[in-house]
Every structure is written in C-alpha cells, then in structure tokens.
Structure 1
Amino acid sequence: MAALTVRGTPPGVVVRASACALAVASLALVAVTTTAPAASAAPASTSRWWGADRYATAAAVSKESFPQGARDVVVVSGARFPDALAAAPLAAQLGGPVLTVQPGDLPEATRAELQRLSPAVIHVVGGTSAVSEDLFRQLQPLASQRVERIQGDDRYGTAARVATTSFADASEVVLASGEDFPDALAGGAAGAALGSPLLLSGRDALPAATRSALTALAPSRVTLVGGTSVVTPTVVAQVKQALPSTAVVRLAGDDRYATAAVVARDTWESVPSPLLASGEAFPDALAGAALGAPLLLARRDCLPAATVTAYKDLGVRDVTAVGGEAALSEAALAATPCR
C-alpha cells in the first residue's frame, strides 16, 4: 500500500495514502473487522500528558505539541461531545490544538494556555448551547485577530459546516455515528492524519446536512467507522445513492476498542508511538485525536484484547497516555490485559 509521512505525527509514523491516491473509481463496500486474541505486548517506554481535569489535560497536550505557540486554536465544549467531534480534523487542518471549555465558563488552565499560544484566530466549534455567547466574548481578548464560530442547526449541521468550509478539496470523508463518541474519536484521529473531515450520521438515516455535505465534497472514498449496530446498512445505501461513484469502506470491530484498532491498522502501516486514551469519556481522547497521531483506546485499569493485539501488529514501542490516572491507570499504560 502506498504511504506518506504526515507532518505533526510522531517520528516514524507512516500513514496510508488518501482516497484519491488509491485511485478508487468504482463503488465498493468493504467491511474490515478484527477478532484476534489477546497477548502480552508491554511497550518499551511510556509517558503521560495530563492535567488536574479534562480542561487542564487538553492544555497539557497543547503545550507538549505546540511549544512555540499556534496561529489557530480550536475551542469546543469539554462537557458535551456532539459539536466537539468534528473539531479534531479541523484543528489538524489548521495546524493548531483543540482546547476545551465549560459551556459558560473559561477554565483557568484553558485561559493560561491560550495566553501562552497567543493565537491570531480562535475557532469555536458548536452553537451557544455548547459554548455560550458570554464565553465567546471572554475569548475575544485572547485572539490577536478574531474569534469565529462554526456551527449548524445541530451536531450534524455543525460537522457539515466544518467539512464544507475547511475541507473543500478533501478526497476522503470519514463518517461515524453522531449519537455516541468512541467511533467518531477514532475516525477523527484518522481524518486528522489524512486531511479528511468527519461527518456524522444517525443510526438508521443520513441527516440532510450530512447528505448535502457529501454531495458538495464529492469524495472518492467515504470511510464509515463503526459496526451495523451504530450505523445500519440503510445509511450505507443512502450514501451510495448520493455518491454512486464513490467507494464506501466500513471499518468496524466488535466494540469501540476493536474499532479503534481497525482504524489504526487501516490508516497507519506502522505505529511505533501511538497515543492511548480512555474509551469511556471523550475529552482526553479528543485532544489527542487533533494531533493526527494514531489513537488507541483502553479501559481505565487494563488494555482490551483488541488493543493488546494492535500493539503487536502495529509494532508499538512507546506509548503516550492522554489523561491522568483517574482516566487511565498505570496498569493500563503498562498494557496489562483485561481479564
């Protein structure tokens, strides 16, 4: 498979070519699954990016990844996931971090990191129920040029707006459920690496805003992340109807952990230094996904079988946890298998 090195990912990480490089001309639906057994795969070294809470953890990830500051910063709710899901590929596209806020309050850790980053533009993703107008005004003195809001009528419209305004030339689109976060986080990390936006779907129907965005973007490949229990074949049929010449590839495992592992295998040919985040909450994983680095998921106190197997298959050597021990214990970071 053709490969390219993506700027901003850990050294040695190799990512597959985008859909246009694959020259997919005909419609196809490919299901990729994994059921490999677990085995011991302790990494050679581990590290941790974390803060006292989800807001401080996002700030810590930003500080580690953007030590010289950033022109563009994406700000999303750290309390509600729906509007935030599309933020990871956007931040990667802009070359900046994702920081999180409370709906009506600017956490001190986020404020301090914005002051350090000294951005020209702050991009707020989500409507006023996610990031209030008062908080929007609090952000304005922290950007040298402007603060702008990207939003739609709902989570689907917000993701569609991000995609059509910032990814007009994307040859691949990632599609995941908008009703829960785990598959969208794994898909967002892949999209961040590939320069692909993340669009959201309902379980049984493609929302009108998503359909319109797909038609406008006309990608060569749609990568559907998640099994048939979260996005049914009816949605696939609707994507095919909207894009009859586009390849549709479903990446799915038995659960959220296996799906993240499948996405990593599809996107990266080798993953010596992945990020590891909790599969049980979204904020820490979102901050990591925005880096365009391989993202694998864990339970708090152990590594699920699919993640253990992915360590072996992808040649994992060094692992960085995103989040404190309340989210990921040292046992999980040390690749202790779940029993």
Structure 2
Amino acid sequence: MKKLILFAIVLLLIPTVNAASYDIVIARGDFPVDSIVAQVYTQSAEIPLITIGRGGIDQETEFELYGYRAQGYKSALIIGGEDAVSKSVENNLERLNYSITRLWDWNRYGTAARVAVSLWETSETVIVAPGDQKGTLISAGRIAIDFKSPLLLVETNKVPDETKAAISDLRASRIILAGNVSENVKSELAELGGLQPTEQTQIALVKQTTDSRGLFVIGILVGGLVIFLISSLFSVGVFRRKMEVPYEVLSEDEKKIAKQIEKHGNSGLKQEELPSLTGFSRPKVTRLTSELEERDIIEKKKVGKTYILLLKRPLK
C-alpha cells in the first residue's frame, strides 16, 4: 500500500503534458514496450515517432531530425531510461537545438503507467495487456490506437501498484483487457473501473457502477461468449486477420524492409539483397532485421553465409 501511495504522489508531481507539448517522440525500436506505448501516443497526437537501436542516432536519423528541426519542430520526448536511450542521444538532440523531456520508470509496468498519466491526464477508457507474455503487445497497441486511449500493463497473475495508481489517476471507468490473465487479476481490474474482455474488434463496453453488479456480471458472461465465438470462427479462418501486423506499429524503415520481404512471399528474401533494394547500409539492414525478428514479425533462416527472411504474420 505504501508503494502504491508513493507512486501516486510521484505521478502527481509530474508536470502536465498534452498532445501539443511535443513535436517528436523518440524510443528504442527493439524495446517493444517503449516503442508500442510511444506509437499509441504519437498516433493520437499525430506527431512523428523516431525509433532508434542500441547504437543511438545514426547518420540517417540525424538527417531526419535535422529536417524536422528545419521545419520548426522544437520539442522532443524520449521514452525510456538512459539504459535504453543513452545520454548521447540527448546530447545529439541538444546539438540540434531540441528541448528534451524524458519519461521512464524502473520497469515496463512503471514506464507504461508514467507515459499514460503524463500524456493523457485523464481517460475514461484504458487498454490493459499482460506485459509478461509474448505476442500480446502489438494487438493491444492496435486496440489502444483504435480507442485513442493509453496502454497499461499487468502481470499474468498480478496487477502492479504502478498500474493501479495510473488507473486511479486517469479516472478510468472502463478497462478493456487484451490478453489472458488470471481470474484474480480480472477481479482486481473489475474493482478498479469495470472490465471488458476484447480482441481486435470493438464490441459493446460494460461500465460498472456501485449499484450495477448484476449488469456487470451479465456483461462479463456475454463478453466471454463473444470471445468464444470469435475464437471458434478464427479456427476455421473467418477471423484470420487478427494475426496480422498493422503497418502503424512499424517505423518507416521497418516498413521498407517488411514490404520487400512480403513481395517475395513464401520463397523468402535473401538478407544480402536488402541493401540494394532499400538503399540502407548492411549494418542498418542487420539491425532492422534483428529488431523485426525479436518482435516476432519476421523469421530469419540461416542458409549458407546469408539469411532467408520470411514474414511470420501478414501485414495490413
């Protein structure tokens, strides 16, 4: 309880931020949580997202930042601590005369909570996904973008204090759960603001009030039935698109890579061909393909001295 109160106090001390406060956002492209919560915000605010790798700002990205600065962009938001986005990135931005703000916390749950509370101020709806499971963040990010709502994270068997505090500070009255969690977590979320299980589709939301317990229970049962029907239809291919990767969660450079791989279909594309097809350097191609593989978007098969690249899921 003390930890929850302390986190809430810290969040209240953060200066209020709105969509007009920043011109660009920078996050690590190979850190899924940072890049996806950043993508949710930039889509809502309609501002550029620049993803970087562990090496920081390369020459091409620096030219891009210089171009934005020449167009009048002044303020940059960094999502992630210095272990993710190094101090040298700040130095490069300062050299280009950007003003800089950094949002981060000690773990993924805290970072998502801090971004939500700082950038949304209040939100009737929040999207919640398990942060300790692979394959859920992209889908949850897509739902958050559709609802123009912040993305928060829970553990499969626990609601972190940071997430509880964020839901309270955002004054959320409905929670859309994307992913599988324990019954205990569902109960905790229901008490915090109402719960609506969902998949990549918008279905009727049930809002819990102090005197509408019966309606809430009915809503959960109906939601469960809908999920069962959707899962059944998916098994026969009706909703196969739910496994697609939306282009919106990819950076511009990643889109170029993914589109080239997509063109080659099931035969795959040799990684060594990408520099000539995209105009990227070999080190940049290696970094981007490794990041896409880590995010479970492409598959790299070692063949001789090169790799054959295949899409693991279709793009849309």
Q: Tell me which interval the TM-score lies in, with the shorter structure as reference length.
A: 0.5 to 0.7
| Aligned-partner SS, 1:92 | helix
Tell me if the contact between 2:33 and 2:112 (Cα under 8 Å) persists in the aligned partners: no
Which residue number corresponds to residue 249 of structure 1?
196
For residues 255 and 182 of structure 2, the distance between their equivalents in structure 1, rounded to whole angstroms, comes to: 31
Which residue number corresponds to residue 152 of structure 1?
105
Determine if the alignment matches structure 1 residue 101 to structure 2 residue 52. Answer: yes
Pick from 117, 121, 125 the counterpart of residue 164 of structure 1. Answer: 117
Deviation at 1:176, TM superposition (A): 1.0
Larger RCO (alpha carbons 8 Å, 6+ apart): 1
Which residue number corresponds to residue 95 of structure 2?
141
Deviation at 1:222, TM superposition (A): 0.8
For residues 84 and 260 of structure 2, the distance between their equivalents in structure 1, rounded to whole angstroms, comes to: 23
Determine if the alignment matches structure 1 residue 82 to structure 2 residue 65. Answer: no
For residues 157 and 98 of structure 1, the distance between their equivalents in structure 2, rounded to whole angstroms, comes to: 21
Pick from 187, 206, 212 the counterpart of residue 237 of structure 1. Answer: 187
Tell me if the contact between 2:28 and 2:51 (Cα under 8 Å) persists in the aligned partners: yes
Which residue number corresponds to residue 84 of structure 2?
130
Could you say what the CA RMSD is over the residues aligned between the two structures, in angstroms?
3.3
Pick from 209, 226, 242 the counterpart of residue 162 of structure 2. Answer: 209
Tell me if the contact between 2:122 and 2:171 (Cα under 8 Å) persists in the aligned partners: no
Pick from 171, 191, 206 the counterpart of residue 144 of structure 2. Answer: 191
For residues 76 and 97 of structure 2, the distance between their equivalents in structure 1, rounded to whole angstroms, comes to: 6
Query: Higher strand fraction: Structure 1 or Structure 2?
Result: 1
Deviation at 1:233, TM superposition (A): 2.2
Tell me if the contact between 1:175 and 1:200 (Cα under 8 Å) persists in the aligned partners: yes
Deviation at 1:322, TM superposition (A): 3.1
Seen in structure 2, the aligned counterparts of structure 1 residues 325 and 83 have a Cα distance that, compared at 3 Å, is: closer
Deviation at 1:196, TM superposition (A): 0.5
Task: Specify every segment of 5 or more residues in structure 1 that has no aligned partner in the other structure, as ranges.
Answer: 1-69, 252-261, 268-303, 312-319
- Specify the code of the residue in structure 1 equivalent to 2:121: A
Which residue number corresponds to residue 202 of structure 2?
266
Seen in structure 2, the aligned counterparts of structure 1 residues 250 and 120 have a Cα distance that, compared at 3 Å, is: same
For residues 180 and 106 of structure 1, the distance between their equivalents in structure 2, rounded to whole angstroms, comes to: 29
- Specify the code of the residue in structure 1 equivalent to 2:202: D
- Specify the code of the residue in structure 2 equivalent to 1:324: I
Deviation at 1:156, TM superposition (A): 0.9
For residues 137 and 242 of structure 2, the distance between their equivalents in structure 1, rounded to whole angstroms, comes to: 19
| Aligned-partner SS, 1:112 | helix
Which residue number corresponds to residue 153 of structure 2?
200
Which residue number corresponds to residue 214 of structure 2?
none
| Aligned-partner SS, 2:137 | helix
For residues 124 and 310 of structure 1, the distance between their equivalents in structure 2, rounded to whole angstroms, comes to: 30
For residues 133 and 75 of structure 2, the distance between their equivalents in structure 1, rounded to whole angstroms, comes to: 29
Task: Specify every segment of 5 or more residues in structure 2 that has no aligned partner in the other structure, as ranges.
Answer: 1-20, 204-235, 244-251, 267-310
For residues 141 and 326 of structure 1, the distance between their equivalents in structure 2, rounded to whole angstroms, comes to: 34
Which residue number corresponds to residue 177 of structure 2?
224
Aligned length: 206
Tell me if the contact between 1:122 and 1:147 (Cα under 8 Å) persists in the aligned partners: yes
- Specify the code of the residue in structure 1 equivalent to 2:48: P
TM-score under structure 2 length normalisation: 0.57
Cα distance per residue 1:34-71 (max 9 Å; x no partner)? xxxxxxxxxxxxxxxxxxxxxxxxxxxxxxxxxxxx96
TM-score under structure 1 length normalisation: 0.53
- Specify the code of the residue in structure 1 equivalent to 2:37: A
Deviation at 1:107, TM superposition (A): 2.1
Pick from 319, 322, 326 the counterpart of residue 255 of structure 2. Answer: 322
Query: Higher helix fraction: Structure 1 or Structure 2?
Result: 2
Seen in structure 2, the aligned counterparts of structure 1 residues 307 and 143 have a Cα distance that, compared at 3 Å, is: farther
Structure having the higher Rg: 2
Deviation at 1:106, TM superposition (A): 0.8
Seen in structure 2, the aligned counterparts of structure 1 residues 71 and 80 have a Cα distance that, compared at 3 Å, is: closer
Deviation at 1:139, TM superposition (A): 2.0
Percent sequence identity is 24
Seen in structure 2, the aligned counterparts of structure 1 residues 132 and 266 have a Cα distance that, compared at 3 Å, is: same
